[in-house]
């Protein structure tokens, strides 16, 4: 699963080759094929990351939304470079004069107007993204406090509360903040929420800046067989909203 930091990293790479460029747009999604002719002679205004979504903004104000889910990935090829992946898996191909950016195996590719997106119950109602410059602590806490009966572990998986946080991040954030994922949102103090927010920002930025060196900060994820790296206590594992969860039985309360 691509968590927010990887999405932001990919968006940076895509911006570098696409932003401001005239582009040929081809879909590997059958029901979008008929729109290709309406997308001729457009430029890419921007490639934005929002949570786990890519929002590719076109010069006619439409947006191509891409979500990689579990299996999708991007590749960027230079002109005339041979693709190292089969063309039939390409779901979206953006070709400029010098590069092709290809989203392979992405389960979600949509062509939307801003209005469609704002009204969309799944794609349009994202919680604040800690890696975006418009991140608002106040809005994050407002959305969190609106779900007092959720456990904090479940709340962090809900993209309408905070977007871009995936399973590894939420487990590590709660470990650093010393908060057990089963604690109810209603039972969090103001100080608990401040620690959760601070660690979310810190770990997401760290992941984005130190991509490929996750070993240096992943401390309890998949750590069930080892003692807690902080207190030596027992690391337990259980499921929350279907996702495997790890937490120290002793120092996360
Ligand atoms: Zn511990």
Residue 223 confidence (pLDDT)? 78
Distance from Cα 179 to the centre of ligand 1, integer Å: 11
CA of 129 to the centre of ligand 1 (A): 28
| 202 pLDDT more than 90 | yes
Distance 251 CA to ligand 1 centre (A): 4
Across the range 50-67, mean pLDDT stands at 97
* Alpha-carbon gap, residue 159 to 196, rounded angstroms: 16
> Residue 224 C-alpha to ligand 1 middle, in angstroms?
12
Q: What is the rounded average pLDDT of the residues 34-60?
A: 97
Cβ neighbour number for residue 12 with a 10 Å cutoff: 12
The Å distance, Cα 173 to ligand 1 centre, comes to 14
Mean pLDDT value across residues 164-181: 96
pLDDT of residue 143: 97
pLDDT band (50, 70, 90) for residue 216: confident
Domains defined along the chain, listed by start: 4-119 (3.20.190.10), 137-248 (1.10.8.50)
Secondary structure class of 35 (helix, strand, coil)? helix
Neighbours of ion ligand 1 (CB under 5 A): 228, 230-231, 233, 248, 250-251
Query: Ligand 1 centre and the CA of 175: distance in Å?
Result: 8
Specify which residues 92 forms β-bridges with. 27, 103
- Least-confidence region, from 1-10, 67-76, 133-142, 205-214: 205-214
User: With 80 as the cut, is the pLDDT of residue 163 above it?
Assistant: yes
Compute the distance between CA of residue 184 and CA of residue 168 in angstroms, rounded to an integer. Answer: 20
Average the pLDDT over 63-84 and give the result.
96
Angle between helices 190-209 and 167-176 (to 10 degrees): 130
Listed in sequence order, the DSSP H helices in the chain are 4-18, 114-119, 137-145, 152-155, 167-176, 190-209
Stretch among 2-6, 146-150, 235-239 having the lowest mean pLDDT: 2-6
pLDDT of residue 225: 79
Q: Does residue 1 surpass a pLDDT of 70?
A: no
Q: Give yes or no for residue 210 having a pLDDT over 90.
A: no
How high is the mean pLDDT of the chain?
95
Q: Check pLDDT > 70 for residue 166.
A: yes
pLDDT for the residue 217: 81
Q: Where is average pLDDT lowest: 74-83, 120-129, 208-217?
A: 208-217
The rounded distance, in Å, linking the Cα atoms of 121 and 164 is 17
**Separation of CA 34 and ligand 1 centre (Å):** 56
The one-character DSSP state at 111 is: E
Top-confidence residue, 114 or 1? 114
Whether the predicted pLDDT of 200 surpasses 70? yes
Q: What pLDDT, in 10s, does the model give residues 9-44?
A: 999 999 999 999 999 999 999 999 999 999 999 999
- Per-residue pLDDT, 180: 98
What is the distance between the alpha carbons of residues 221 and 217, in angstroms, rounded to a whole number?
Answer: 10
0.85 cut: is pTM over it?
A: yes
The average pLDDT across 95-115 equals 97
* pLDDT tier at 48, thresholds 50, 70, 90: very high
- Packing angle between helix 190-209 and helix 137-145, nearest 10 degrees? 120
């Amino acid at each position: 699963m691509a968590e927010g930091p990887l999405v932001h990293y990919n968006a940076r790479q895509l911006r570098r080759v696409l932003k401001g460029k005239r582009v040929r747009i081809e879909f590997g999604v059958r029901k979008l094929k008929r729109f290709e002719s309406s997308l001729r002679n457009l430029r890419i205004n921007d490639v934005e990351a929002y949570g786990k979504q890519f929002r590719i903004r076109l010069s006619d104000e439409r947006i191509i939304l891409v979500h990689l889910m579990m299996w999708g990935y991007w590749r960027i090829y230079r002109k005339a470079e041979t693709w190292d992946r089969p063309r039939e898996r390409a779901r979206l191909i953006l070709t400029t004069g010098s590069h092709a950016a290809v989203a392979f195996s992405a389960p979600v590719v949509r062509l939307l107007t801003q209005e469609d997106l704002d009204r969309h119950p799944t794609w349009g109602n994202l919680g604040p993204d800690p890696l975006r410059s418009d991140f608002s602590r106040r809005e994050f806490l407002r959305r969190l406090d609106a779900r007092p009966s959720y456990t904090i572990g479940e709340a962090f998986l809900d993209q309408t509360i905070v977007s871009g946080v995936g399973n590894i991040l939420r487990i590590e954030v709660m470990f650093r903040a010393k908060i057990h994922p089963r604690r109810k949102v209603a039972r969090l103090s103001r100080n608990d929420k401040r620690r959760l927010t601070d660690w979310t920002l810190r770990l997401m930025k760290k992941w984005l800046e130190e991509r490929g060196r996750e070993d240096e900060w992943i401390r309890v994820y998949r750590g069930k067989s080892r003692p807690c790296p902080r207190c030596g206590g027992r690391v337990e594992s259980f499921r929350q909203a279907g996702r495997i969860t790890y937490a120290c039985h002793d120092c996360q309360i």
